[in-house]
Structure 1
Amino acid sequence: MLLHALTMAAAALGQADAPADDADGELNRYYAAAMERLAEQGEDSAKARTELRDAQRAWIKYRDAECGAVFTNWYPGSIARTMAADCSDRLTRARTHAIWAHWLTFVDSTPPILPEPQQDRSAS
């Protein structure tokens, strides 16, 4: 009986992480497209590529620290991991949208390189 309860709890925790994992995959796809677009622009964009890479690394540190703080705030409650996963999902979706807006769209009527990402998973 205890083993069954532990198995069910582990499955529930894994489900809590699933939206954040999906959001990470989408973020990686949009980030890669942005870096590819900059690479296609040649040497003129080398500084922008470096700055985007550095910004992305700093953003990941921010997200991990912010959502770690959310986890700590709710710990030792059973909802701590769910709240941290929700934090990660929301921040990651917002970052994906920012990358899309800044790097994958154009100021004229040219269609964006990738479609506009959803900022709220309930909208999908």
Structure 2
Amino acid sequence: MKKLCLISGLLVSSSAMATAQTTKVDCDNAYTTIEINQCAENKFDAANQQLQQYLAQAIKQNSTDKQLIDAIKNAQKQWLQYQKEECNAVYTQWQQGTIRGVMALSCKLALTQQRTLTIWDNYLRPMDSSAAVLPKPVVDAY
């Protein structure tokens, strides 16, 4: 009977957590740590999607140069490792406070936006007066 109560409790907790995660947060009025973290995660997710779009376009536009494609992919792999280590360090710096999550997410956001701009600048920005395939990405000022 105790096992049944424990399993039921876990299912209810999981259901409540899933509902909380799917609930739309008003990020202009976020107040709780959970809401602030969710808004930071949403912003990071959008920036990461943009990074993936720009990276895919850079690879597509340079598809005839296998050496360059390999170099871009290797650079991205190394950058992902750097981002992980750097933002883990930020998390560690703030590990004693509830702000640690949003600080780590802010680190990931800033680095992701900067990486997107770097990809655009190095591989997608036209050197002549022609229009770019993708617009210059915006980097939030902090």
- Provide the TM-score with structure 2 as the length reference: 0.74
Partner residue of 1:102?
122
Q: Which amino acid aligns with 1:100?
A: W
CA distance, structure 2, for counterparts of residue 75 and residue 24 of structure 1: 24
Q: Which amino acid aligns with 1:38?
A: N
Partner residue of 2:61?
37
1:19 to 26, 32, 43: 43
2:113 to 82, 86, 93: 93
**After the TM superposition, which residues 1-124 of structure 1 pair with which residues of structure 2 at under 5 Å, given as runs?**
9-39=33-63, 42=64, 45-120=65-140
Kindly indicate which of the two structures has a greater share of residues assigned to helix.
1
**Percent of aligned pairs sharing the same letter:** 31
Q: Which has the larger radius of gyration?
A: 2
User: Any stretches of 5+ residues in structure 2 without a counterpart?
Assistant: 1-12, 21-31
Aligned length: 114
| Residue deviations 1:71-93 (CA, integer Å, cap 9, x gap) | 00000200000000000000100
Partner residue of 2:5?
none
Q: Which runs of 4+ in 1 moved over 6 A?
A: none
CA distance, structure 2, for counterparts of residue 10 and residue 107 of structure 1: 44
CA distance, structure 1, for counterparts of residue 40 and residue 120 of structure 2: 26
CA distance, structure 2, for counterparts of residue 87 and residue 13 of structure 1: 13
| Residue deviations 1:21-66 (CA, integer Å, cap 9, x gap) | 1110100000000000011xx2xx1000000000001001101110
Query: Higher relative contact order by CA 8 Å / sep ≥ 6: 1 or 2?
Result: 1
Q: Report deviation, 1:121.
A: 6.7
- Provide the TM-score with structure 1 as the length reference: 0.84
The DSSP-based 3-state class of the residue aligned with 1:58 is helix
